[in-house]
Structure 1
């Protein structure tokens, strides 16, 4: 089977986001998948891309990885202007019943919590209602679900429901939450932006990327996907953090999925943030440090806005290069990876990001 997968530029200024489109050949027809659609203006560009480049108005699957605006806002245009057959999206209000134990105040009722969750995530509710009005089928993207050629590796439903009370817009639960949520809450908190006050030196043999990093609970709930088409393997991570990625790789390995040199396309999580990847996880995903003379044939994608000066982090770029992986970003336009189809006319690949001896210091 043949495929084309496009990673679209998202955002203006320092904003970054995710938007991915893909078409794949089944042997009888082309089918289209959209995974996130960035901001509203990105969604309009996605609609035009599907129509003009893929030559169709029909999308087999749309996946919303998590409810951050830089991923979900553009899906309104996609759902309203294209014929979307299936929408895969976590809908917080559908989990209200399973969350009631976290809200011990007797003033909380199931109806009240459901309504509050609906109000807390208006874009999710809007997209859900729009999809239903257009006859689109809704599905929950939990571990083990198959979406075209992809399988969901993370999250499980239990993991998602453990993270949802910690989303920044979720109504505040009872104080007993820490005990009730157990290990999935440990180490997860709201992301706090920190100023980079200084830089430090790295060389070819010194890695300062750390093992531990904290990202927002919303990011840890990201839908992580692994696709297999004609013996080629695609790993898409959205904004997943260390715990979600670790769980995804462990589950994938347990069911026989291969990483390392078996990967053909790898999306670096969260725009190349240093909090969402670690040396140990990179070793599990793409392989151990191999040296700059040993190039791995992995298409490595970092979704970063055109003027985003803080993403990707150089410490992450260096870590990838040390493992023989040549990362590219979306700052100058669409990144295209294809197999079994001619190169797209007029399209030229982006340059590989370069190693630097000066990287961001941790505060």
Structure 2
């Protein structure tokens, strides 16, 4: 039976997930998102301290927001670190030359389509895709149906058809929608199921095209254990993934967008019916949403990195289990 570990690193309101998968003596390290620019050393040292390697067999950037792509720049610029394969999606995958020239007759398609992967702060840095290519990484798009040849990880969203209109919006350089809930997370006082559902179901969907285009991943190391990693996918994206896949219920889920109230509904949570929910969040301002946490707890224990720090799920028993943010009701 294969051994596996899934590590949800504590990187504030950002995402960085490390998977170690071992089968028949072969070890694979997967990095899904790399937090902010300042998180690269933390990730590098974490991998070395746990597995005595600087090789990342598969890196995946779920979408080009700074709190997901940022740390990859430092890792790719580090001479110790080797990234063999890189999955990410870009408008150039779906907007072909003829269509692009109709939309932007005076611009360069390749550079424009890759702008979303520019360094968040350093204008002199190579674009993330160009940097990966210069490091001889094998770079691939990751759309629904893609499966890794050695690691039991597959892409369940987005489909090419779903991503195409989002790619057009990404080229317009749309700004991310601001979440206006500035309250600090707390679970004090009475909060009914009706209040919880209303607090999220009455809110609009996350309208960021980069979030909506997040790569949604299913890691299934054994038949009885599935991990659904939702990036910052919005409600429409998750609905589309559910419609294209029949095996997404009963998973251990990485809650989208740090537990924001704009990325799930009570209906979607009931459809997913998770057996465990992990939130990567700072625990202040808007993330995580109390309504989201409450609705998730109808199905399972809910954990957050802001309470427990880095969270680890392994194929072997953990001697010190994490304390849930909210236990299953």
* TM-score category of the 2 structures, normalised to the smaller one: 0.7 to 0.9
Change in 2 beyond 3 A, CA 1:211/1:29? farther
CA distance in 2, matches of 1:248, 1:99: 29
Change (3 A) 1:103 1:72: same
Partner of 2:134: 133
Q: Look up the match of 2:162.
A: 159
What is the CA–CA distance in structure 2 between the aligned matches of 1:214 and 1:251, rounded to whole Å?
20
Residue in structure 1 matched with residue 179 of structure 2 by the alignment:
193
1:199-348 counterparts in 2 under 5 A? 202-204=191-193, 207-208=197-198, 209-210=200-201, 213-215=204-206, 216-231=208-223, 232-253=225-246, 257-260=247-250, 263=251, 265-286=252-273, 298-305=275-282, 308-323=284-299, 325-331=300-306, 332-339=308-315, 341=316, 343=318, 348=320
Residue pair 1:117, 1:171 contacting (<8 A) in 2 also: no
TM-score, normalised via structure 1 length? 0.77
- Please provide the CA RMSD for this pair: 2.8
Secondary structure at 1:53 match in 2: helix
Alpha-carbon distance in structure 1 between the residues aligned to 2:215 and 2:10: 20
| Closer, same or farther: CA 343–68 of 1 in aligned 2, 3 Å | same
> 2:31·2:56 contact (CA, 8 Å) conserved in 1?
yes
The aligned counterpart of 2:143 is: 142
Q: Deviations over 1:322-354 (max 9, x none)?
A: 22x111111142000111x3537xxx4432123
- Find the residue that maps to 2:303 and give its secondary structure: strand
Report what 1:35 is aligned to. Answer: 32
By how many angstroms is 1:315 displaced? 0.5
Return 5+ residue gaps in structure 1 as ranges: 174-188, 288-297, 356-363
Change beyond 3 A, Cα 1:204–1:96: closer
**What is the Cα deviation at residue 314 of structure 1?**
0.4
Identify if the C-alpha distance between structure 1 residues 86 and 48 changes in structure 2 by more than 3 Å, giving closer, same or farther. Answer: same
1:26 offset after TM fit, Å? 1.4
Tell me how far 1:76 sits from its aligned partner. Answer: 1.5
Q: CA deviation at 1:190?
A: 5.1
Larger radius of gyration: 1
Q: Distance in 1 between matches of 2:103 and 2:248?
A: 44
Q: Deviations over 1:24-44 (max 9, x none)?
A: 111222111000000122121
What is the deviation of 1:279?
1.1
Alignment gaps of 5+ in structure 2: 121-125
- For residue 123 of structure 2, what is the aligned residue in structure 1? none
- Whether the aligned pair in 1 keeps the contact of 2:155 and 2:216 (CA below 8 Å) is yes
> Do 1:87 and 1:138's aligned partners in 2 also have CA atoms closer than 8 Å?
yes
Distance between the aligned counterparts of 2:132 and 2:176, measured in 1? 30
CA distance in 2, matches of 1:334, 1:90: 27
Aligned equivalent of 2:113:
117
Classify 1:172/1:137 alpha carbon distance in 2 versus 1 (closer, same or farther; 3 Å): closer
Q: Distance in 2 between matches of 1:318 and 1:343?
A: 26
- Please give the alpha-carbon distance, in whole angstroms, between the structure 2 residues aligned to 1:126 and 1:250: 34
Report how far residue 195 of structure 1 moved.
4.7
Alignment TM-score, normalising by the size of structure 2: 0.84
Q: State whether residues 4 and 20 of structure 2, in contact with CA within 8 Å, keep that contact through their aligned partners in structure 1.
A: yes
In the alignment, what sits opposite 2:9? 8
